[in-house]
């Protein structure tokens, strides 16, 4: 991720509602059994949403359970229009070794990106300078490059890919229906809200009509 001086001042840390500048990361691709690159600009040009899934380190304990959980929802995320990318500060070579050795990762097909300098992790505000690792951060970026969702957990609590998929479907829905909003726990097919002066103080009635 290379900023010019003006961009660096404006976008030093990712903010909800702001565009994410282009970046390229080296990666291991489990589907091709080889090394590749993750090019954020290319993903945008393909009209895809981006799920960036930061985690602390390969060959650790909670991390393989998270990646296995994410892998179980990758097909559904793809159907929703997402490119799924995991990211840690480990090298692409360590990703390859971990994917080969850890049986929990047998179904992982998404690209495993490497951020050895921590530059991208710092931009998304998940970099821990004391350890040189990334916290557990999940970021959803829309096809125009706008960051619409952010979740950051500390090291000792894993995430839930079911909730990630639910949020992705909700964000996809409201992007296609900008006049509407999704209430708590909303899933496709359930009732949405259409904000207006008539809805003020009447949300219960609207949802239970």
* Domains of the chain in sequence order: 5-176 (3.40.30.10), 180-209 (no CATH)
Catalytic residue among 1, 38, 63, 85: 63
127 has pLDDT over 50 = yes
**Tens digits of residue pLDDT in 71-91:** 999 999 999 999 999 999 999
Span 155-172, average pLDDT: 98
**Tens digits of residue pLDDT in 186-196:** 999 999 999 99
9 has pLDDT over 70 = no
5 has pLDDT over 60 = no
* 63 tagged catalytic: yes
% of the chain residues with pLDDT over 70 = 95
Average pLDDT of the chain?
Answer: 94
Q: What is the DSSP string of the chain?
A: ----HHHHHH-SS--TTSBPPP-EEEEEETTTTEEEEEEHHHHHHTT-EEEEEE-S-TT-SHHHHHHHHHHHTHHHHHHTTEEEEEEESS-HHHHHHHHHH-GGGTT--SEEEE-TT-HHHHHTT-EETTTTEE-EEEEEE-TTSBEEEEEEE-TT----HHHHHHHHHHHHHHHHSTT-B--TT--TTS--B--SGGGTT-HHHHHT-
């Amino acid at each position: 991720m290379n900023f010019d001086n003006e961009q660096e001042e404006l976008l030093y840390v990712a903010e909800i509602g702001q565009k994410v500048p282009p970046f390229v990361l080296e990666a291991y691709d489990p589907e091709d059994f080889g090394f590749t690159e993750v090019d954020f600009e290319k993903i945008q040009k393909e009209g895809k949403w981006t799920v960036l899934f930061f985690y602390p380190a390969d060959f650790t304990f909670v991390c393989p359970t998270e990646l296995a959980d994410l892998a179980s929802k990758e097909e559904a995320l793809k159907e929703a229009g997402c490119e799924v990318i995991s990211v840690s500060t480990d090298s692409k070579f360590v990703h390859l070794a971990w994917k080969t050795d850890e049986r929990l990762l047998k179904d992982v097909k998404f690209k495993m990106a490497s951020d050895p300098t921590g530059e991208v992790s710092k931009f998304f505000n998940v970099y821990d300078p004391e350890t040189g690792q990334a916290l557990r951060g999940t970021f959803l970026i829309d096809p125009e490059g706008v960051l619409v969702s952010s979740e950051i957990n500390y090291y000792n609590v894993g995430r839930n890919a079911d909730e990630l998929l639910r949020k992705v479907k909700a964000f996809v829905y409201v992007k296609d229906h900008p006049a509407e909003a999704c209430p708590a726990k909303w899933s496709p097919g359930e009732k949405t809200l259409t904000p207006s002066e008539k809805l003020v103080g009447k949300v219960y009635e609207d949802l239970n009509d």
